[in-house]
A and B are shown apart, each in its own frame.
Chain A
Amino acid sequence: MISTIFYMPKPQLKLLFRYGLVLLILFSLKDSIISQQTVCDHVVKGKVLDQVSTEPLPFATVSILESGQGVITDINGDFIIEKVCLEEFHLVIQFLGYRTVEHHHDFHHGDPIIYLAPEETLLDGVVIEGSRIEAFKSLAIQKLEVNKESLLSNSVGDLTESISGISILKTGSNISKPIVHGLHSNRVLVMNNGLRHAYQVWGEGHAPEIDPSHIDEIKVVKGAGTVKYGPEALGGVILYNSKKPQLDQKLKGSLGTSYQSNGRAYSGQVNLKQGSHRFAWNAGGFGIKQADLKSPNYNLSNTGKREYGGSFNTLFHLPKIDLQVSGSFLGQELGILRGSLVGNLQDLQNAIDRSEPNPTFDPTYEIQNPKHKTQHGLLRTNLSVYLGDHIFKLQYGVQRNIRKEFDVRRGELNERPVIDLELTSHNFELEWVQPTIEKWNGNSGFQWFSHDSANKPGSNPINFVPDYNVSNIGAYTIQSLKLDESTIELGVRFDFQNLSVADTIRDVTIYSNKVNFANATFTLGYRKNLSEELSVFANVGTAWRPPNVSELYSFGYHFSRIQFGLWRYNLEPQISTPLNQVFDETDRKVPSEKSLKLVSGIEINNEKINAEFIIHVNRINDYIYLRPFGVTTNVAGTFPYFIFSQTNAFFIGSDWDFRYHHSETWTSEAKISYVYARETENNQSFIEIPPLNINYNLEFSKGPWVAGMDLNYMAQQWNAPMVIEPISFQNGGVEVNPDEIFDFTDAPNAYFLVGGNLSYTYKSLRIGLRAKNLLNTTYRNYTDRLRYFSDAPGRNFILTFGVDF
């Protein structure tokens, strides 16, 4: 593992970039031309199932339209057609009493699983193709299929939480971002349809702005995913994927709508899709409007929200070429609890001591300050070229993210955001999937991305973060070797990143800086199938991330804390924070954070049980955190202040996920996750590490009826840092011991939540009723940054209605 700050002049960088690209292309083409030849040795395998019961369908006819070759499925619904000459063709699947399905297939795609719809329903058959490019098998990847209507009542962040090992860091009820194994923000990489989601990731109160209407599945890579996905994946990678448009498909669509009792939120969503022989598309849009939420005992004033978004996906298919163009847009206006506004520590103490937040108004749809307004737009093109057994993928994406944060300020300043940032980013990626030779396969790639963030003028004279530019180039290769029941995987990656910043402080000081970071990362994995039902896996890998702009340059008061970035304070001869001076790497070296993560687990899959147990260990060097340092007085009173500092950290934890099919109608699922985190230099606890979480879900499914019950126990975080009450600073006499991490209150008590759901499907209509916090339990969440100020929302009934057409 190499990690250092070094300098490389820009022209050299460009040269490296160009040569690398040219070499890669030349090398790849040479190889592919040799292997290009047509032979009649293709094989197509698949499975045919009943769409309603998901039982296998034996004796269904599967034939190739172009050649007339055909077979009949066996007792398990499986079929295999051998000696196929064509590279692409149409499969026709027929069975008496079911609608016939015609499916466009080519060999670059995985084996199809065909769901036939009974004629008496209004459903159409569905074909799901596996992917020929298998992801890492040893990384512990968990997947969540998303039901369209569930998105209408959940944010993307909240949905992700139902995967074991994932918690969410909240700023009230409307802002949530995922925590993977105790890490979040810059330490978790969010991929939106294969693109690194570009947003102001440094902010704990900034959730990824992802349009939920196009999300079809959520995957979490719990192991070290850096090699494939790039820097920042210290905790893991979360992938939000949408459905690829399907060829040869009639125009179809779905409508969904929902109403929630808590917050009187209503929402609507529409999705359309169509495919011809060479072209397919899908598109969707959604909107939600929510009034102030309610906790069991009081209104949560100013917690309304508005969200609207849309997306489209197009696919042009030619023999050997797939071209996908897609785009999405999301606009948000998110209210933040009014009672969370505090000026000094006396105010904070008052807020903590109050039985209900002050002020509390009657609920309204209106959103006042404080609030966040964000917009995110994305445009992406993706070209896949199949040359013989090689696959080349070229991806380019552009994203624009606008963020405005409004606070309660004096007079006309209320109209002006305190944070007003525009971020434009570009991603370019080239991937080569090499042909499988014997037992060996792999893929390699080159990635470049750049972020350009600018403060819009007129918001505040002192920008919370400077204008910044990040550009990163990386190249990787992952190779995998399959030996009988074992798979060994090895990956290596090199990254080079340049950060450049510029800003003016109070019209007085102009500063700028350019810093380079370079890192090599690796991953090594092993998976063995001990039997058909049981497999074990282990993966060890490194990850890294450079310090972010907030950690380097923030200065002053922010969210009840006075904090100073790594290049805004000086420790010699004693601590000072010069107002109009900015330091750089010659004054204080700030190495990248580097982690070494081990994930190991057991997977059991049989007729009765689907289970996965994993253990994860993560050691992070040069971990950047806010270190309490002292007490200072300013115009609003006495405050403790914090400096960004580096230390070493250690995380260990376990995720248990156990699904048991009692019978055809009854299924149970239990999930447990726990993570223990430690700052190792002074051996103390960090704040906001998710506590032990136990989840149990019982589901009943018969015919058109599905009913379920959710039980959730969240323990108190017993591994929380010491507590210093805010009032004791105000009264004086409390010394802050540098190095002693503290919190202003105890971690909230353990709580137990009950939820339930009931749904009924009639032909193409779906009606669902869901209850959250059914017992109207009063609780606070340790990973909610507003836990000092208010209880979490109370009981909520959600009615959803969906129809396919």
Chain B
Amino acid sequence: MKYTNTLLYFMMFCLLGFMTSCDDNDDPEEMEEEITRIEMTFTPDNGEEVVTATWFDADGEGSGAPTIDAIDLEEGITYTLDIVLTNTLGQTDEDITSEIKEEDDEHMFFFGFTDGYFSDPTGDGNLDNRNDPVNYNDQDSNGEPLGLSTTWTAGAHSETLGEFNLVLKHQPDLKTGSSDVTVGGTDVDITFPLQIEEGHGEEEVINEIILTFTPTGGGDAITATWFDSDGEGVANPTIEDINLASNTEYEMSISLANTLGMEVEDITEEIREEDDEHIFFFEFTSDIFSNPSGDGNIDNRQDPLVYNDQDANGNPVGLLTNWTTGGASSGNFRLVLKHQPDLKTDTSDATVGGTDVDITLPINIQ
């Protein structure tokens, strides 16, 4: 049904064009308003990656077909859609978006989409009926919706491709609270393929931790991996030894990942983004390092440890630390990641907050 609607509008558009002799050059106003590129930016509210889709017609009214990206959204996620319109035909790109903004009381975007592809708005958009739900975020000076910014919540995943139809109407002196898509001239009427992906969400399981020791004086980095093939399952992890050279200074970086899903998920980045809520503590066999000395700061937060990174409040994080080995010996190296939302201070110790990671690796210094 959506398809026939689109067809209908397309025909109307042509007919309208035909009546005005299909020549926009007759109308001086239209000249500047040629739009050749439309960029759709879907920003998810969960901080994940932005989704973009571009409709681009390199030769404007020339015979060349436009290139059209598919809109690829994830089920259940709420996005803010911002539309940027540009004329790329001139010497320099001309920003049409700001022109529309200036004339917001004469313009309005209408949207049509395959029924049910969004859980909010429900239905199939407001092309067929102006009063059907669409979540406009912006208004013109009269309080009527504009549509450069809208909000969308993707519905359930579907195997079949849907459609997303965008129509920009120019309604000088015609735009009212009830003027629908049949009123005024059509500046834009384009359709994107619409794909709703299965939600992969984010999981908080961490099942792979890689410690990378890079000698500060140069040389090959040494890694040790802690890996649990089944996450919360009952199988035990495989744990590599940390093999370091004696009397050498290393910078250690920690990377954490979830490899259980289809795609490997990097948890390190998440911790960095929330570094004011996370902190690593360490414990090791006494005096195997010359710096830091002692046995680490799990038992006492004030014990020496060389943190190389800080959060916004100037408190250590521990994704980067420095270690200078002592003479040849072996022992254990334990690291604990605490989650301390609203709790992390310069004194919050390893008993505060929940434990995200608590692992121990054998260490050998040769």
Contact = CB atoms under 8 A, between A and B. Distances in A.
B331 interface: no
A557 interface: yes
Contact of A556 (B156, B226, B231): B231
B46 A634 contact: no
B271 interface: yes
A409 B346 CA distance: 22
Given A408-B341, A410-B270, A459 B201 contact: yes
Interface string B190-234: 000000001111111111010000000000000000101111111
B237 interface: yes
A358 B352 contact: yes
A412 B209 contact: no
B234 A416 contact: no
Contacts of A458: 74-77, 199, 201
B143 to A, nearest CB: 30
A772 to B, nearest CB: 31
Contacts of B356: 343, 635-636
Interface in B101-140: none
Q: What does DSSP make chain B's interface, helix, strand, loop or mixed?
A: loop
B203 A632 contact: no
Nearest to B153: A458
B76 A408 contact: no
B273 interface: yes
B28 interface: no
A630 interface: yes
A326 B356 CA distance: 48
Interface in B274-288: 274, 277
Interface string B319-351: 000000000000000000011011100000001
B74 A577 contact: no
Interface stretch (A242-250, A310-318, A500-508): A500-508
Given A458-B199, A461-B202, A508 B75 contact: no
Given A358-B352, A411-B270, A458-B77, A630 B204 contact: no
B262 A411 contact: no
A461 B237 contact: no
B359 interface: yes
B271 A410 contact: yes
A108 B209 CA distance: 73
B314 interface: no
Contacts of B75: 457-458
Contacts of B260: 506, 579
Interface in A453-472: 456-462
B232 A557 contact: yes
B84 interface: no
A635 B235 contact: no
B261 interface: yes
B159 to A, nearest CB: 12
A342 interface: yes
A415 interface: yes
Nearest to A569: B234
B270 A635 contact: no
A461 B46 contact: no
Nearest to A349: B351
Contact of A408 (B48, B77, B354, B357): B354
A413 interface: yes
A637 B198 CA distance: 32
A557 B206 CA distance: 13
Contact of B357 (A347, A456, A459, A636): A636
B358 interface: yes
A350 interface: yes
Contacts of B203: 460-462, 506
B130 to A, nearest CB: 30
Contacts, number: 143
Contacts of B358: 343-344, 346, 635-637, 730
B178 interface: no
Contacts of A506: 203, 260-262
A410 B234 CA distance: 25
Interface string A544-579: 000000000001110000101000010000011111
A633 interface: yes
A508 B355 contact: no
Interface residues of B, number: 54
A342 B338 CA distance: 10
B176 interface: no
A20 interface: no
B236 interface: yes
Contacts of A562: 232
Contacts of B262: 506-508
Given A456-B76, A458-B77, A347 B198 contact: no
Nearest to A504: B198
B274 A410 contact: yes
B261 A343 contact: no
Interface string A760-798: 000000000000000000000000000000000000000
Contacts of A344: 355, 358
A579 B233 contact: yes
A213 B207 CA distance: 48
B354 A343 contact: yes
Nearest to B74: A458
Contacts of B206: 635
A576 B75 CA distance: 33
A557 B157 CA distance: 27
Nearest to A414: B341
A556 B228 CA distance: 14
A738 interface: no
A641 interface: yes
A760 B207 CA distance: 64
A704 interface: no
Nearest to B155: A457
Contact of A577 (B207, B230, B353): B230
B158 to A, nearest CB: 12
B64 interface: no
B62 interface: no
A506 B235 CA distance: 18
Contacts of A457: 75-76, 156-157, 198-199
A341 interface: yes
B90 interface: no
A413 B354 contact: no
B264 to A, nearest CB: 12
Given A457-B157, A458-B75, A346 B355 contact: yes
B258 to A, nearest CB: 9
Contacts of A410: 204, 270-271, 274, 277, 339
Nearest to A461: B201
A359 interface: yes
Contacts of A412: 45-48
Contact of A350 (B157, B226, B234, B351): B351
B233 A461 contact: no
A341 B353 CA distance: 8
A24 B309 CA distance: 77
Nearest to B196: A457
8 contacts: A358-B343, A412-B47, A413-B202, A415-B45, A458-B201, A506-B260, A630-B234, A635-B357
Given A457-B75, A635-B356, 18 more contacts: A344-B355, A346-B358, A358-B343, A409-B204, A410-B277, A412-B47, A413-B202, A457-B76, A457-B156, A457-B199, A460-B201, A506-B203, A507-B200, A508-B261, A556-B232, A634-B237, A635-B358, A641-B234
Interface of A: 341-344, 346-347, 350, 358-359, 408-413, 415-416, 456-462, 504, 506-508, 555-557, 562, 564, 569, 575-579, 630, 632-637, 641, 730
- Shortest 9 CB-CB distances between A and B: which pairs? A458-B76, A457-B76, A343-B355, A556-B232, A343-B354, A637-B358, A412-B47, A577-B233, A457-B75
